[in-house]
Amino acid sequence: MDDYRVVSSVREHARERGSSAAITAGGPTVTYAELSARASRFAQALRAAGVQPGGRVCYVGKPIPEYADVLCGAPRVGAVCTPVNWRLTPAEIAAIITDAKALVTVVDAEFAELAAELPGTVIVTGEPYEGWLAGHPAEDPGYTGDPDDVVVQLYTSGTTGVPKGVQLTNVNLGGGYEAPKEPWTIDEDSSVMVAAPVFHIGGTGLLVIAFRAGARVVLLRDAVPAEMIDTLERERVTNAFLVPAMLQFMCDVPGAAERDYSSLRAISYGASPITTEVLKRSLTTFGVPLAQVYGLTETTGSITQLRPEDHDPGGPREYLLRSAGKPFPWVELKIVDAATGEVLPAGEVGEVWARTPQNTPGYYNRPTETERLLAGDGWVRSGDAGYLDDDGYLFITDRIKDMIVSGAENVYPIEVENVLAEHPGVADVAVIGVPDEKWGETVKAVVVRAEGDTTTEEELIAWSRPRLAGFKRPRSVDFVPELPRNPSGKILKKELRRPYWEGRSRNVG
């Protein structure tokens, strides 16, 4: 595990089984030999552009084959693959590229209009990109690097609203490789559907796992339920990672239960818990084992798993559906009193801490935030509140940080609050996550109007539209006379959330 190098996987498969399929995305299949050659051309192009070992190389776009060039090519010169959320505003995307100090950014042709607004050298996929690659030899620079080299950087918003680059090393990305062996069973005979955004650990992490196994990757540009159903059947997909909302949408596709899923080995899901109803429908529709996973970008994704045999809808163990499962064998968990650092016994709620080879070494150029994240002796503070039961199952009950998870997108209230506070009709504002059957949580603003103001819910939502990415905008606004605060003036968001989450087993989506 400690000797794994992300850069080595495609090299080895190209050498040993180069004609095997590496990627398909509705067009010509890319073999491992072809992917390796493209990665080498990409690496040579980076070298010519002045990219040095440790330099960040950004990608803005959806899951397309060209992203594999970035993921597999950047490490060949010791550079760091840095995918950026295309759903952000142009200014937000530019700020991340600036933070990463990226000399080169590859932009999906669908977002070509962004190119003029981004810093550094920007290459748009299609003819410009292919011409750029063709101008460089398919000669592997041969960089191998060290286990602790950072190879991927994923940006996650911070509680201050400033995005932070989560650095992931070879060791981190190799640490979770054992997870898909069983019950997921990803190997060189697998066809792995990747529908999650590549700026999420769910997308890039699954690509790394698939390439390491020598599997065939089936990329989906857009997660359209009917197209996903077609893809599962047509491409003989063996494995997929989905969020519960997408499972629900796929089950809603007319005739979904009558399709041929005989190739499927397992479906893993995460980012939010699954309802009993969606679980039952998914088991009936797809007829394959389901495994829930829980983790953070800072833990390189999954650190716990609720195994298929623990999915017992209607049975005596149905309560386990509210859990995040048990930690993988190489992961240690403990529940800690966030104020005192005291380790709490089974059944008591505190902050979830994790120790695993998957833990990030820290945020890029963010020493203060890194110090808050890393608890010492290899432990990472999750920011989630929860408890371990007597059998070692983890139950997430709340979020110590105020982050909202809506449809697997992370939203930090401070960003939304800052935008709404600029409206002249807003005297005070708090943003919280409220339950939503499809997305887990959606964004709600609780607003105190300025004296004499008559601003409406529709007007505030419209105000946010040009200022925030779509998934960050409030879906609803409540008006109140005042916000609850403690003696020091801090808004008591737990009190604000309470009425919306009453009767639910957990207070987050």
pLDDT tens by residue, 98-127: 999 999 999 999 999 999 999 999 999 999
What is the CB neighbour count within 10 angstroms for residue 381? 19
Cα torsion through 470, 474, 475, 477, rounded to 10:
-160
Q: For the chain, give the percent of residues with pLDDT over 70.
A: 94
Amino acid identity of residue 139, one-letter, is E
Greatest CA separation for the chain: 74
pLDDT digits (tens, 9 = 90+) for 468-502: 888 889 999 999 998 887 654 568 888 888 888 87
Q: Are 236 and 271 in contact (CB under 8 A)?
A: no
β 150-156/164-169 pair status: antiparallel
The stretch 193-208 carries a mean pLDDT of 94
Half-sphere exposure of 439 (CA within 13 A, CB side): 18
Q: How many CB atoms lie within 10 A of CB 142?
A: 11
Which of 45-54, 117-126, 342-351, 404-413 is predicted least confidently?
A: 404-413
**Res 378: pLDDT:** 96
Residue-level pLDDT at 401: 67
Comparing 98 with 410, the larger pLDDT belongs to 98
Work out the average pLDDT over 252-263. 96
Name the DSSP letter for residue 252. Answer: T
Of 44-48, 364-368, 405-409, the one with minimum mean pLDDT is 405-409
> What pLDDT, on a 0 to 100 scale, did the predictor assign at position 461?
93
The yes or no reply on domain 321-399 and CATH 2.30.38.10 is: yes
How would you write 261-289 as a 3-class SS string? CCCCCEEEEECCCCCHHHHHHHHHHHCCC
- Output the pLDDT for position 158: 46
**Rounded distance between C-alpha atoms, residue 319 and residue 416, angstroms:** 35
Residues in a beta bridge with 353: 334, 381
Domains 321-399 and 404-501 share a fold: no
pLDDT of residue 159: 42
Q: What does the alpha-carbon distance between residue 424 and residue 38 come to, in Å, rounded to a whole number? A: 53
Closest CA relative to residue 240, chosen from 291, 277, 276, 175? 291
The rounded distance, in Å, linking the Cα atoms of 60 and 151 is: 17
Q: What is the DSSP letter of 345?
A: P
Task: Please state the separation of Cα 341 from the chain's center in Å.
Answer: 28
How open is the CA angle 91-157-421, to the nearest 5 degrees?
70
Token reading at 418: 């800052």
Specify the DSSP class assigned to residue 371: H
What pTM was computed for the model? Answer: 0.84
CA–CA gap between residue 212 and residue 176 (Å, rounded): 11
User: Side chain identity at 53, as an amino acid letter?
Assistant: P
Question: Top-level CATH class of 404-501?
Answer: alpha beta
- For the chain, what is the mean pLDDT? 90
Residue 508 has pLDDT above 90, yes or no: no
Does residue 129 register a pLDDT over 90? yes
Residue 386 clears pLDDT 50, i.e. is over it: yes
Residue 500: is it exposed, middle or buried by C-beta count within 10 angstroms (0-12/13-18/19+)?
Answer: middle
For the chain, which residues make up each domain, given as ranges? 321-399, 404-501
Q: What is the pLDDT of residue 152?
A: 98
